[in-house]
Structure formats: C-alpha cells, structure tokens
Structure 1
C-alpha cells in the first residue's frame, strides 16, 4: 500500500547512517547556529534540535548525559549548550529553530534546499530582514505594513532586550544604507 503513516523521514539511508547524519547536522547547528542543507534533512534536524534544547533547559545530570550522547564533540559544545543556549531560551516555551527555504544549492542538483537556524541568536536572519524593512519604511517616510509589524513583534518577543536591540539594528541598517549611497554618489553611479 502506497503512502500511509510515516513517523519520520528515512532520508534514503539505513538507520545507523541516518542517525550519524542527523547527529552530525545537530552538532554543526549547535556549533555554528546556522546550517545550509536540504529541506528534508533540515526538517528532521529541527525536530531533534528542539528536543536537545528542551533537554538542556532541564540542566540536571541526566540531561547532561543525554546531550553528551547526542553531540559528536561534547567537550567543546556542552558549555555552549548548557550555558549560552539554555539561558537564551529559558523563557521561550518552544520553537527554538527556524527552517527557511532557499534556492537549490547548485544548478545541477535541483533538490529543495533550506537554512536551519537557531532563533534569537546574533545571526538571526528574520531579525535582520525585518530591521531592514523597517529602516526602508522610515527612510521613505511611510508606515510599516501590518506584516512587518507582526514580524517585529515576533522577533522581539522572547529576545532579551528585544525592542532596544531591534532599534539598534534598524539604526545600523540605516547607517549602512546611507554609507552605501555616499560611496555610490562619489563613484558617480546612482540608483
């Protein structure tokens, strides 16, 4: 019978290979806070990453042993997982990761590609894009759209010092835009 209920994606690998792949992706995610991979791998890794951070939030000996069994380089990543990441997500009830679809990685391989990132981090893509949209609206002297306002609330909701950090990012983006325009004027190329 085709189709049916599947509990997880098998990723065209046997069990041991799939577990090794997901542990490797999870280790890279904790280390770099963002990875670029295929969309199915990102979705499976997202499930495990949310579980790993929930385990880290418990912060007891049992949770440390579980996390140590999941990560490939626990001696390097345990302080980050049980320190920085645990404190970052202490008040957040879930949803620690985000999967963003992207263009295929190469023109030869047209598989669905995605970026898997930890939210509320220093390299949060939605935070930067929303700040850019608000900076553009301010420069043009118009009100932000309801979608932009909704994204602003989302990216500042659980972030420590969220509104202040967002305003700082908007100023930074506006300043970068102004500097780019100054360089373009000096070169003689105009928008």
Structure 2
C-alpha cells in the first residue's frame, strides 16, 4: 500500500530515480529547456526548484548542498552564476511546463520543461502588451467621413445649381 507517499516513483527503484532526476536537473540547468514526459517533468520540478532557491544564497555551504544533489560541477557553477542572477527577485515558480501532445510510440504525454526567465519568445511577447496604447474610437473617423461626404454633396449641389442657371 502506498499510504501517505506523495511523490511519483516513476516505476523505478530509488537509486535509479535519484540518478535520473539528478541528470535531468543538470541538463535543465545547462540547456535551459528539455523535452520529456509530463510525469517526469512534474517530478523534476519538485526536485529542481528547491535547488534554484538554494542558489540565491551564494555560499560555499549552499554550493556543497546543491552539488550533493546534482553531482555535476558545470551545472552547479552555471546555476550559481547565470540562473541565480536572473531569478534573484522571483519568489518561486522557476520552471514552466509546456505540453506538446502524445508520443507516437507509446502515447505518453510529452512536454517541454524550461526555466521561466530564459524563454525569449514569451518574454518578448509580454513586453509589447505592456506598452499597448489605448484603442481608438470609430466615431472620430465616422464624423470625418461624414463631414467630407457632406462637403462633397454641397459641392455637387453648387455645381448643379450653377449649371442650371446657365
């Protein structure tokens, strides 16, 4: 029975699961985005977000703790140098899961898991909306066309009256 066991075991023994999550977390930190199944992405999010929170405090002890989880010195240095600088003010929610659909072979749900502050497409899409101007009303355009139409009618009336007088 699995009473009070909250995390997903992913069909693996604990040593295999820890090694897999460690490798996936290092790949996520180094590449900023990886493609995986939704179940693994949710397990990875629970694994990597506390490590990113630890990286905000750049001390030797925090680096040792994070290295104990990642076992990759390049990923640890990237995490403490680059990633921690970008997420310094963010209170949490460092990763985003984007669902892609189902895999052809076994119909598993696939997704991208990415670091939030590194997706340039979504960052650039959010900035123009903030600078968006207010909408123009149609009344101004309609009154301008009405006035020009009225002026055209008057000019045609004047021209017909002058032709009739002659």
Shared fold per TM-score greater than 0.5: yes
Question: What are the superposed Cα offsets for residues 48-79 of structure 1, whole Å, 9 maximum, x if unpaired?
Answer: 111110011111121110111122321x2232
TM-score normalised over the length of structure 2: 0.71
Q: Which consecutive aligned stretches of 4+ in structure 1 deviate over 3 angstroms post-superposition?
A: 123-128
**Does 1:60 pair with 2:65?**
no
Structure 2 unaligned runs (5+)?
132-166
1:127 aligned onto 2:113:
no
Match of 1:113 among 110, 115, 119: 110
Match of 2:89 in 1: 91
Query: How big is the shift at 1:120?
Result: 1.2
User: Which structure's relative contact order is higher, taking Cα pairs within 8 Å and 6+ residues apart?
Assistant: 2
Deviation at 1:6, TM superposition (A): 2.7
1:18-167 aligned at under 5 Å gives the runs 18-74=17-73, 76-105=74-103, 107-121=104-118, 123-124=119-120, 126-127=122-123, 131=125, 152=126, 163=127
- Aligned-partner Cα distance in 2 for 1:124–1:6: 37
The 3 A distance-change label for structure 1 pair 89 and 48 is same
Cα RMSD, aligned residues only: 2.1
